[in-house]
Structures are given as structure tokens and as C-alpha cells.
Amino acid sequence: MPDAPGLPPLTDQFSQAYWEAAREGTLLIQRCAACGRYQFYPRGHCAGCFAPDPEWVPASGRGRLHTYTVVRRTPNAEFAADCPYVLAIVELDEGPRITARITGDADGLACDRRVHVVFTPAGQAGVLPNFARDRG
Amino acid sequence: MPASWSGQVAIVGAYESPRRRAPGVHPFAIQAECAAGALADAGLEPADVDGLATAASFPAEGAREMAVAEIAEYLGLHPRWMDGTDIGGAAPVSHVGHAVAAITAGLADVVLVTYAACGYSWPHGAPDYLTHAHGPGQWELPYGPTTVATYALAARRHMHDYGTTAEDLAAIAVQCRANAAANPDARYTAPISVDDVLASPVIADPLHRLDCCVVTDSGGAFVLTSARRARSMTARPAYVLGFGEALGQVSMSQMWPYTATAAAASGARAFATAGLSPAEIDCAQLYDSFTITVLLALEDLGFCGKGEGGKFASAGELAPGGRLPINTDGGGLSSNHPGRRGALAVVEAVRQLRGSSPGVRLDRPRTVLVHGMGGSLSTSATLILGA
């Protein structure tokens, strides 16, 4: 993935933990202490039961490719140089789904293929969790 | 049993701008053209309007935070009831349901719903994102989503789960183009084939350019009032029989399940309030930002089973002689899509009930369903109109 220009995430006090962990090679998700539900994207409350302050937990980083598309054209100039790229929704083994890219090209990709997290330096965007297909 | 309000409010005037390209024109000028056109069609004066609904916050719509106030000022209206509900392309359909509530509650007598945008010619740029890269968007926008790509994600999973093919999706675009053939205002009228769709450039696979709607500068408007008042007016009323709306997700990671949309909820509410079933619908104007938008709506609204939309389309059921003729003016895929197609889908439903469609005129349809879908399969509003 090219380094620039991209569209960096605008972090806030709450999300800083997530992006700092990504820089250190950990994918964080959240788990609600009250109902046990895992959630992504991170929030200040559980979107299942509204209990406050779900805890940050490291995800296994393993999951399945739920769906994907190869973006060949974009009206957004900041991503034009990236085309084509694989935009995907990955279902983590813990349950939640996450938006990311699949590294490499789309050859041999299929829904439900096993994938694992990789951490991609992305210029101003810092480090973005992405996914690569498992071998075999 | 129908809801107490079913049939108590009618659309008594409707207008679609013939424009498709309007370089140098501000969208508010098209708003005014459409408002005047709808009122003239209804035989009403601006002074009769005491309710206004619009949404105009997309860049190419020309307004900012207080869209309904900006549009009211430009038009020269001072409504006592207003609605600026902004749920993407479904908004104008949503406005119909809200107007029914206002009119039956006595909060307004004559509601004008207007819409316009210069989706093609807007000169100031318009990033293709639904959110900021802040808050929830910080976990999505850095990866480079586009509107087409988000719909492509749903199409890919539908293909995986149900064996839907690119040819099935293409059949929807082919039918809309065929319907546009007679429409003098349609953006494109030359017939296309399934092969043409598949040969057009891939934008975000599996969606090709011809799986995507046209992008135009245009607008539309319509006028609602009580059925009692409608009976004394010149135009043939289109009665609001049923309505429902629903919210899905904005971030694509939150769509669940991935092959069904909020249309399942909005559709069920619309049918329940009308006291009708899908088999009793003669024609549908289904939001067609992309071919997959139509396919998912066919299933979610109950016109066929989940996973059967592809076969339904490929078998010709969407044609004028099929089980559910759709998008009889050519739809957003071939006729007109300035930004929120919902407004124009309502106008075409009214024209179809009056026998005045510029595209395909069906033989005296009694019921027309209008379905709006906004954002990235995010929001849904479903309306059932009757003659």
C-alpha cells in the first residue's frame, strides 16, 4: 500500500489506545463486562446492552473474509494512486466484523477464506490493521 | 387491517424537471422550478402551502446545516410545519410518511416536498464519503471506501451465498434501459444488452459502470393534502395507502446480515399499514442507485424469496408484462439520478397511477410501491400509493 496521501484517521482521547496498540502490532477490540459481547468498532458503551466502558481486549487477529471488492476506480483523489486495491469486511473469530484491506491482489480470493491481521505502515495514517490470506 | 390513516392523504401534484445537465445553474433554481411545477400540476398557489419538506445537505444540493430553512427562504415560503429528515436517497420517500402524519394531525393542510441537485455539474467538488475520518469513520475511511465499493461488498456476498451472477444483476440494468426508450427526458435511451453491461468497465467488482446509476442535474417535487380536499381538485389523487421506514447501518462493518437491508423492516411496515401483500402490488419504483440495490429490495420487500432476486430479474419478471414491472420511466439507472432518486420515484409512481408515465404506461395499475434506499444500504423508506 503506498505511503501517501491516504486519509489518516482523526483520533481522539478515546480511540488513542486502539491506534497506539496497532503501532505495536496488536489489534484491539472491546468486550462488555456486563453482557460478554465483543464489539468493533470501539465505543464508550456496549451497543448491545448500553453498559458503560467496555474493556479493551487483544483480538486473536484471525478470522474469515466475509466479503470484498476490488476498487478499480475512485472519485477520491487521496486513494487514486492505490487503485486497484481490495477493500474487505473481515469477520473476526471473536464475532465482530472489521473494515480493512486485503494485502496483495485478488487472485484466489473468495468469501469465507481464512485471513489474519497484518500491520501496514501507511504514512500519515500511522499503522493500519489489514489482513492477509492464510496459507493453504 | 389498514392503519387508521391509510387512504386519508393523497399526492395531488407532481413534477420532474426535464433537465439532466444544467451547468452554471444553482440547485436552488431547480428547486424553485420543481416547486412551481408541482403546484401548477395540483392547481394550487404558493400561498396554499403551509408545510415544506426537503433535504439538501449533500454538497451538490447547495445547502448546509439548515437545508429546509435555506430552501424555504429561497422559494419565499413560510411554512408552519417543516421536515428536513435527511436519510440519503430515501429522504423524499420518508418525507411522504411524515407529511401524512402532519396532515392527519392537523399540523399542515398542504405539504410541498421538493428536491434538486446538480450531481453532474456541481463545480465545488464533493468527496465520496458518508462520514468524517473522525469518530466511527476513523475505522473505515482510512481504507478508501467508495459508494460503489460499499454496494459491491453486498453484491459479492450475495453471489457467494446464493449463486447470484453478474448476468442477473445486468438484467436489471437492461430492463431499466428498455423502459427509458420512450422517455424523451431520459439520460440514456439506446437499448443495451446483458453483454453490454458485462463489457462496461468494472468500477468495483462485481459492479460495472452500467450497474451504476446515471448522475444528473435535476429535481422533482410533489404536493400532498387530505383526501377530502383532494376530491375537489383537478388532478387525479394518488392516495397514500401504506408507509414504513427503517435505519440500517452507515459503517459497512456494521451491516448485519450482509445480504439483507433495512427494506425488510420498512417494507413490512408499509404492507401492514396498507393492509396489502406484495402480490397485490401492480408496479414498483425501486431505488436503483446500483443494480444490487434493486435485487436486495425485491427480496427484502417480499416480492421473491431471499436469494431468489437474481432468478426473478433474469426471468423477465421486472418487465412490463412480468410479475412486477419496475422503474417504468427508466429509473436512476437510465433516466435521472441527481442525488436522491426517491423524489423522482414518487413522481413516477404518481404518473403511473394517472396513466401519464413518460416511459412505459401500464394498463391501469391500482397500486404502486415506491422504495427509497439511502447511503450505503443504510436507510430505507417504503411507500404504497393507490389510485
- Pair B285, B345: CB distance under 8 Å: yes
Asked if the structure places residue B165 within a domain, the reply is no
B200 touching chain A per CB within 8 A:
no
Does B129 sit within 8 Å of A69, measured CB to CB? no
- Residue A1 confidence (pLDDT): 45
Alpha-carbon gap, residue A12 to A10, rounded angstroms:
7
Residue B99 makes CB contacts below 8 A (sequence gap 6+) with B9, B51, B53, B83, B108, B111, B113, B224
Mean pLDDT score, B333-349: 98
Computed on alpha carbons and rounded to an integer, the radius of gyration of chain B in Å comes to 19
Which pTM was predicted? Answer: 0.97
Asked if the structure places residue B208 within a domain, the reply is no
A127 beta partners: A121
- Residue A104 confidence (pLDDT): 87
B136 touching chain A per CB within 8 A:
yes
Question: ipTM of this predicted complex?
Answer: 0.95
B193 touching chain A per CB within 8 A:
no
B15-34: pLDDT as tens digits: 999 999 999 999 999 999 99
A99-126: pLDDT as tens digits: 999 998 888 899 999 999 999 998 776 8
Assess whether pLDDT exceeds 90 at residue B364. Answer: yes
B186-200: pLDDT as tens digits: 999 999 999 999 999
- Domain residues for the domain of B81 are 9-121+213-386
- Residue B248 confidence (pLDDT): 97
Assess whether pLDDT exceeds 90 at residue B322. Answer: yes
**Whole-angstrom distance between the N-terminal and C-terminal Cα of chain B?**
18
Q: Shortest CA distance to A40 belongs to which of A93, A2, A103, A109?
A: A93
Mean pLDDT score, A27-47: 97
Q: Which residues of A touch B129 (CB under 8 A)?
A: 76
Q: Which residue out of B58, B139, B162, B290 would a mutagenesis test of the A interface target, given it has the greatest number of A Cβ atoms within 10 Å? A: B139
Mean pLDDT score, A14-32: 96
Mean pLDDT score, B248-276: 97
B154 touching chain A per CB within 8 A:
yes
Residue B18 makes CB contacts below 8 A (sequence gap 6+) with B184, B185, B218
B251 touching chain A per CB within 8 A:
yes
C-alpha cell read off for B257: 446480515
Q: Considering CB atoms only, which of B132, B207, B253 is closest to A10?
A: B132
Average per-residue pLDDT for chain B: 97
A16-133 belongs to which CATH class? mainly beta
Does A89 sit within 8 Å of B153, measured CB to CB? yes
Does A111 sit within 8 Å of B157, measured CB to CB? yes
A70 touching chain B per CB within 8 A:
yes
Reported confidence tier of residue A5, pLDDT bands at 50, 70, 90: low
**Percentage of chain B lying above the pLDDT 90 cut:** 96
CATH number for B348: 3.40.47.10
State how many domains chain B has.
1
b/e code B232-262 from CB counts within 10 Å (16+ = b):
ebebebbbbbbbbbbebbbbbbbbeebbbbb
B211 touching chain A per CB within 8 A:
no
Mean pLDDT score, B210-222: 98
Mean pLDDT score, B250-278: 97
**Percentage of chain B lying above the pLDDT 70 cut:** 100
Q: Is the dihedral of CA B320, B325, B329, B335 positive or negative?
A: negative
- What's the gap in Å between the CA of A121 and the closest CA on chain B? 12
Assess whether pLDDT exceeds 70 at residue A2. Answer: no
A-to-B residue pairs, Cβ atoms closer than 8 angstroms: 121
3-state secondary structure of B78: coil
Asked if the structure places residue B82 within a domain, the reply is yes
- Pair A101, A119: CB distance under 8 Å: no
Mean pLDDT score, A49-76: 97
Q: Considering CB atoms only, which of B142, B154, B202 is closest to A6?
A: B142
- Residue A4 confidence (pLDDT): 52
Assess whether pLDDT exceeds 80 at residue B340. Answer: yes
